[in-house]
Chain A
Amino acid sequence: EVQLVESGGGVVRPGGSLRLSCAASGFTFDDYGMSWVRQAPGKGLEWVSGINWNGGSTGYVDSVKGRFTISRDNAKNSLYLQMNSLRAEDTALYYCAGQAVGRYYFGYWGQGTLVTVSS
Chain B
Amino acid sequence: QSALTQPASVSGSPGQSITISCTGTSSDVGSHNLVSWYQQHPGEAPKLIIYEGSKRPSGVSNRFSGSKSGNTASLTISGLQAEDEADYYCCSYAGNSWVFGGGTKLTVL
A residues in contact (CB < 8 Å) with B: 35, 37, 44-47, 50, 57, 59-62, 95, 103-107, 109-112
Count contacts on B: residues with CB < 8 A to the other chain: 25
Within the complex, the shortest CB–CB distance from B93 to chain A, in Å, comes to 4
B48 near A106 (CB under 8 angstroms)?
Answer: yes
Q: Residue B101 at the A interface, CB < 8 A?
A: yes
- B residues near A103, Cβ cutoff 8 Å: 51
- A residues near B103, Cβ cutoff 8 Å: 44-45
- A residues near B87, Cβ cutoff 8 Å: 44
Scoring B residues 32 to 44 as 1 if CB is less than 8 Å from chain A, else 0, what string do you get?
Answer: 0010101010000
Chain B residue nearest to A57 (CB atoms) is: B96
- A residues near B64, Cβ cutoff 8 Å: none
